[in-house]
Amino acid sequence: MARMVQNENKAAGAFFFATLVLWLLSLSFEIVFNKRNELLCVIAGCCFFQTANWVIRFRFSKDPLFVNTSVSLLHSFIISSSVVFILVNQWLKNGSNGMFEHSQLFGGTWPWAYPALCFSCGYFAYDQWDMLHYRLYNGWIPAILLHHLILLICFSLALYRNVTINYLILTLICELHSIFLHVRKVRRMAGLRDANSTIVRAEWVLNWVAFILARFVSHVLITVKLLRDRHKFGKGIELPLALFGMVGMNLLNVFLGIDLFHAFKREISSQPNSHHHRE
Protein backbone atom coordinates (compact mmCIF):
# COMPACT_ATOMS: atom_id res chain seq x y z
CA MET A 1 0.00 0.00 0.00
CA ALA A 2 2.79 2.42 0.93
CA ARG A 3 4.59 1.70 -2.34
CA MET A 4 1.37 2.27 -4.32
CA VAL A 5 0.89 5.66 -2.65
CA GLN A 6 4.52 6.53 -3.36
CA ASN A 7 4.09 5.62 -7.05
CA GLU A 8 0.95 7.76 -7.22
CA ASN A 9 2.85 10.70 -5.75
CA LYS A 10 5.71 10.26 -8.23
CA ALA A 11 3.34 10.08 -11.20
CA ALA A 12 1.46 13.19 -10.08
CA GLY A 13 4.73 14.99 -9.37
CA ALA A 14 6.13 14.20 -12.82
CA PHE A 15 2.99 15.46 -14.56
CA PHE A 16 2.69 18.71 -12.63
CA PHE A 17 6.44 19.36 -12.86
CA ALA A 18 6.20 19.02 -16.66
CA THR A 19 3.32 21.52 -16.76
CA LEU A 20 5.34 23.93 -14.63
CA VAL A 21 8.29 23.71 -17.02
CA LEU A 22 5.98 24.36 -19.99
CA TRP A 23 4.53 27.36 -18.18
CA LEU A 24 8.02 28.76 -17.55
CA LEU A 25 8.94 28.31 -21.20
CA SER A 26 5.81 30.15 -22.33
CA LEU A 27 6.51 33.02 -19.91
CA SER A 28 10.13 33.25 -21.06
CA PHE A 29 9.01 33.35 -24.69
CA GLU A 30 6.63 36.24 -23.99
CA ILE A 31 9.28 38.23 -22.13
CA VAL A 32 12.23 37.59 -24.46
CA PHE A 33 10.69 37.38 -27.94
CA ASN A 34 7.54 39.46 -27.56
CA LYS A 35 9.27 42.10 -25.41
CA ARG A 36 6.63 41.90 -22.68
CA ASN A 37 8.74 43.47 -19.96
CA GLU A 38 5.68 44.07 -17.77
CA LEU A 39 5.59 40.30 -17.23
CA LEU A 40 8.83 40.58 -15.27
CA CYS A 41 6.52 41.24 -12.30
CA VAL A 42 5.70 37.52 -12.47
CA ILE A 43 9.38 36.68 -12.05
CA ALA A 44 9.58 39.26 -9.27
CA GLY A 45 6.71 37.49 -7.49
CA CYS A 46 8.49 34.13 -7.77
CA CYS A 47 11.73 35.60 -6.41
CA PHE A 48 10.02 37.49 -3.59
CA PHE A 49 8.19 34.47 -2.21
CA GLN A 50 11.18 32.17 -2.67
CA THR A 51 13.26 34.68 -0.69
CA ALA A 52 10.58 34.73 2.01
CA ASN A 53 10.80 30.92 2.04
CA TRP A 54 14.57 31.05 2.65
CA VAL A 55 14.22 33.67 5.39
CA ILE A 56 11.57 31.69 7.28
CA ARG A 57 13.54 28.46 6.85
CA PHE A 58 16.71 30.11 8.17
CA ARG A 59 15.19 32.16 11.01
CA PHE A 60 12.23 30.15 12.32
CA SER A 61 11.84 26.55 11.19
CA LYS A 62 13.14 24.06 8.65
CA ASP A 63 9.86 22.13 8.58
CA PRO A 64 8.81 22.28 4.87
CA LEU A 65 5.09 22.37 5.70
CA PHE A 66 5.48 25.18 8.24
CA VAL A 67 7.62 27.22 5.84
CA ASN A 68 5.26 26.65 2.91
CA THR A 69 2.18 27.57 4.95
CA SER A 70 3.85 30.69 6.35
CA VAL A 71 4.74 31.93 2.86
CA SER A 72 1.20 31.17 1.71
CA LEU A 73 -0.10 33.25 4.61
CA LEU A 74 2.15 36.11 3.51
CA HIS A 75 0.82 35.87 -0.05
CA SER A 76 -2.80 35.83 1.11
CA PHE A 77 -2.26 38.91 3.25
CA ILE A 78 -0.44 40.87 0.52
CA ILE A 79 -2.83 39.97 -2.31
CA SER A 80 -6.06 40.34 -0.35
CA SER A 81 -4.87 43.76 0.84
CA SER A 82 -3.97 44.66 -2.76
CA VAL A 83 -7.36 43.57 -4.07
CA VAL A 84 -9.20 45.60 -1.41
CA PHE A 85 -6.99 48.61 -2.20
CA ILE A 86 -7.61 48.28 -5.96
CA LEU A 87 -11.38 48.04 -5.52
CA VAL A 88 -11.64 50.86 -2.98
CA ASN A 89 -9.35 53.08 -5.06
CA GLN A 90 -11.43 52.49 -8.17
CA TRP A 91 -14.68 53.11 -6.29
CA LEU A 92 -13.38 56.38 -4.76
CA LYS A 93 -12.15 57.63 -8.15
CA ASN A 94 -15.13 56.74 -10.34
CA GLY A 95 -17.86 55.41 -8.05
CA SER A 96 -19.57 52.08 -8.48
CA ASN A 97 -21.39 53.16 -11.65
CA GLY A 98 -20.13 50.98 -14.49
CA MET A 99 -17.43 49.43 -12.32
CA PHE A 100 -18.73 45.92 -12.88
CA GLU A 101 -19.91 46.33 -16.47
CA HIS A 102 -18.66 43.76 -19.00
CA SER A 103 -16.50 46.30 -20.83
CA GLN A 104 -14.67 47.12 -17.60
CA LEU A 105 -14.28 43.55 -16.38
CA PHE A 106 -13.28 42.12 -19.76
CA GLY A 107 -11.28 44.78 -21.54
CA GLY A 108 -10.43 47.28 -18.82
CA THR A 109 -7.64 47.23 -16.30
CA TRP A 110 -8.01 49.03 -12.98
CA PRO A 111 -4.91 50.86 -11.66
CA TRP A 112 -2.46 48.39 -10.09
CA ALA A 113 -4.53 45.39 -11.19
CA TYR A 114 -2.05 44.11 -13.80
CA PRO A 115 1.07 44.08 -11.56
CA ALA A 116 -0.98 42.61 -8.68
CA LEU A 117 -2.14 39.75 -10.91
CA CYS A 118 1.43 39.22 -12.15
CA PHE A 119 2.74 39.12 -8.57
CA SER A 120 0.11 36.59 -7.54
CA CYS A 121 0.82 34.48 -10.63
CA GLY A 122 4.47 34.41 -9.58
CA TYR A 123 3.46 33.14 -6.15
CA PHE A 124 1.43 30.25 -7.56
CA ALA A 125 4.38 29.20 -9.71
CA TYR A 126 6.71 29.37 -6.68
CA ASP A 127 4.24 27.45 -4.51
CA GLN A 128 3.75 24.76 -7.15
CA TRP A 129 7.51 24.24 -7.24
CA ASP A 130 7.84 24.23 -3.45
CA MET A 131 5.12 21.60 -3.01
CA LEU A 132 6.62 19.45 -5.76
CA HIS A 133 10.12 19.80 -4.32
CA TYR A 134 9.11 18.79 -0.78
CA ARG A 135 6.22 16.51 -1.88
CA LEU A 136 3.59 18.35 0.14
CA TYR A 137 0.76 16.54 -1.65
CA ASN A 138 -0.66 13.07 -2.15
CA GLY A 139 -2.77 11.07 -4.62
CA TRP A 140 -2.99 10.80 -8.39
CA ILE A 141 -4.62 14.21 -8.80
CA PRO A 142 -3.77 16.38 -5.78
CA ALA A 143 -6.42 19.09 -5.46
CA ILE A 144 -3.91 21.77 -4.44
CA LEU A 145 -1.66 21.14 -7.46
CA LEU A 146 -4.68 21.06 -9.79
CA HIS A 147 -5.90 24.34 -8.26
CA HIS A 148 -2.54 25.99 -8.92
CA LEU A 149 -2.35 24.63 -12.48
CA ILE A 150 -5.80 26.02 -13.32
CA LEU A 151 -4.82 29.42 -11.92
CA LEU A 152 -1.49 29.49 -13.76
CA ILE A 153 -3.22 28.73 -17.06
CA CYS A 154 -6.00 31.28 -16.57
CA PHE A 155 -3.79 34.02 -15.12
CA SER A 156 -1.03 33.62 -17.70
CA LEU A 157 -3.29 33.63 -20.76
CA ALA A 158 -5.11 36.69 -19.42
CA LEU A 159 -1.82 38.48 -18.82
CA TYR A 160 -0.48 37.52 -22.27
CA ARG A 161 -3.65 38.73 -24.04
CA ASN A 162 -4.32 41.60 -21.60
CA VAL A 163 -7.99 40.70 -21.16
CA THR A 164 -10.21 39.72 -18.18
CA ILE A 165 -7.66 41.24 -15.79
CA ASN A 166 -10.37 42.80 -13.63
CA TYR A 167 -12.39 39.58 -13.62
CA LEU A 168 -9.39 37.74 -12.21
CA ILE A 169 -8.75 40.43 -9.62
CA LEU A 170 -12.29 39.79 -8.37
CA THR A 171 -11.58 36.06 -8.08
CA LEU A 172 -8.66 36.88 -5.77
CA ILE A 173 -11.07 38.19 -3.14
CA CYS A 174 -10.98 34.58 -1.93
CA GLU A 175 -7.51 35.27 -0.53
CA LEU A 176 -9.29 36.94 2.40
CA HIS A 177 -10.50 33.46 3.35
CA SER A 178 -7.11 31.89 2.64
CA ILE A 179 -5.67 34.05 5.44
CA PHE A 180 -7.77 32.14 7.98
CA LEU A 181 -6.98 28.78 6.39
CA HIS A 182 -3.26 29.41 6.75
CA VAL A 183 -3.57 30.96 10.22
CA ARG A 184 -5.33 27.81 11.40
CA LYS A 185 -2.56 25.57 10.03
CA VAL A 186 0.22 27.69 11.52
CA ARG A 187 -1.63 27.85 14.84
CA ARG A 188 -2.01 24.07 14.99
CA MET A 189 1.62 23.48 14.02
CA ALA A 190 2.57 25.84 16.86
CA GLY A 191 0.66 23.56 19.25
CA LEU A 192 -2.36 25.82 19.89
CA ARG A 193 -5.19 23.30 19.58
CA ASP A 194 -7.55 24.07 22.46
CA ALA A 195 -10.94 24.10 20.73
CA ASN A 196 -12.54 25.71 23.78
CA SER A 197 -10.33 28.79 23.75
CA THR A 198 -11.84 32.10 22.71
CA ILE A 199 -9.17 32.65 20.06
CA VAL A 200 -9.83 29.32 18.35
CA ARG A 201 -13.61 29.80 18.44
CA ALA A 202 -13.31 33.32 17.02
CA GLU A 203 -10.96 32.03 14.34
CA TRP A 204 -13.47 29.39 13.27
CA VAL A 205 -16.28 31.97 13.09
CA LEU A 206 -14.15 34.22 10.88
CA ASN A 207 -13.02 31.21 8.87
CA TRP A 208 -16.57 30.19 8.01
CA VAL A 209 -17.79 33.75 7.35
CA ALA A 210 -14.83 34.38 5.02
CA PHE A 211 -15.32 31.03 3.27
CA ILE A 212 -18.98 31.72 2.57
CA LEU A 213 -18.68 35.38 1.52
CA ALA A 214 -15.16 35.83 0.13
CA ARG A 215 -14.78 32.44 -1.54
CA PHE A 216 -18.01 30.54 -2.18
CA VAL A 217 -20.50 33.37 -2.82
CA SER A 218 -18.02 35.60 -4.68
CA HIS A 219 -17.01 32.83 -7.10
CA VAL A 220 -20.64 31.83 -7.70
CA LEU A 221 -21.51 35.47 -8.46
CA ILE A 222 -18.58 35.76 -10.88
CA THR A 223 -19.75 32.59 -12.65
CA VAL A 224 -23.31 33.96 -12.88
CA LYS A 225 -21.94 37.22 -14.28
CA LEU A 226 -20.01 35.32 -16.96
CA LEU A 227 -23.13 33.37 -17.96
CA ARG A 228 -25.30 36.50 -18.07
CA ASP A 229 -22.76 38.34 -20.24
CA ARG A 230 -21.84 35.37 -22.44
CA HIS A 231 -23.35 37.02 -25.53
CA LYS A 232 -20.98 39.98 -25.05
CA PHE A 233 -17.88 37.83 -25.50
CA GLY A 234 -16.43 37.33 -28.95
CA LYS A 235 -15.73 33.99 -30.60
CA GLY A 236 -12.31 33.66 -29.01
CA ILE A 237 -11.10 31.38 -26.24
CA GLU A 238 -11.83 33.83 -23.42
CA LEU A 239 -15.36 32.72 -22.49
CA PRO A 240 -14.75 28.94 -22.63
CA LEU A 241 -11.54 29.36 -20.65
CA ALA A 242 -13.18 31.65 -18.09
CA LEU A 243 -16.11 29.26 -17.61
CA PHE A 244 -13.76 26.28 -17.39
CA GLY A 245 -11.70 28.06 -14.76
CA MET A 246 -14.70 29.14 -12.70
CA VAL A 247 -16.37 25.71 -12.87
CA GLY A 248 -13.10 24.21 -11.66
CA MET A 249 -12.81 26.79 -8.89
CA ASN A 250 -16.40 26.23 -7.74
CA LEU A 251 -15.91 22.48 -7.63
CA LEU A 252 -12.71 22.90 -5.63
CA ASN A 253 -14.57 25.27 -3.31
CA VAL A 254 -17.16 22.57 -2.64
CA PHE A 255 -14.43 20.05 -1.83
CA LEU A 256 -12.68 22.64 0.34
CA GLY A 257 -15.91 23.30 2.21
CA ILE A 258 -16.31 19.58 2.88
CA ASP A 259 -12.70 19.33 4.09
CA LEU A 260 -13.19 22.40 6.25
CA PHE A 261 -16.32 20.92 7.83
CA HIS A 262 -14.50 17.68 8.62
CA ALA A 263 -11.58 19.64 10.09
CA PHE A 264 -14.02 21.64 12.20
CA LYS A 265 -15.64 18.46 13.53
CA ARG A 266 -12.25 16.92 14.31
CA GLU A 267 -11.06 20.00 16.15
CA ILE A 268 -14.25 20.41 18.15
CA SER A 269 -14.09 16.75 19.20
CA SER A 270 -10.37 17.27 20.03
CA GLN A 271 -9.19 14.47 17.78
CA PRO A 272 -5.55 14.94 16.74
CA ASN A 273 -4.76 15.73 13.13
CA SER A 274 -1.05 15.35 12.59
CA HIS A 275 -0.47 14.60 8.90
CA HIS A 276 2.22 16.42 6.97
CA HIS A 277 0.39 17.25 3.75
CA ARG A 278 -1.47 20.36 2.70
CA GLU A 279 -5.25 20.03 3.00
Tell me the pLDDT band of 274, cut-offs 50, 70 and 90. very low
State which amino acid sits at residue 273: N
pLDDT for res 275: 46
Average pLDDT (57-83) is 97
pLDDT at 29 exceeding the cut of 90: yes
Q: Which of 151, 112, 115 is nearest to 20 (CA)?
A: 151
To the nearest whole number, what is the mean pLDDT of the chain? Answer: 91
Average pLDDT (133-149) is 90
pLDDT, tens digit (0-9, with 9 covering 90-100), for 13-22: 999 999 999 9
Percent of the chain with pLDDT over 90: 76
**Using CA atoms, how far apart are residues 119 and 254, in angstroms rounded to an integer?**
27
Residues 6+ apart with CB under 8 A from 85: 112
**Using CA atoms, how far apart are residues 144 and 195, in angstroms rounded to an integer?**
26
pLDDT for res 3: 57
pTM: 0.91
Tell me the pLDDT band of 197, cut-offs 50, 70 and 90. confident
pLDDT at 8 exceeding the cut of 90: no
Average pLDDT (35-43) is 97
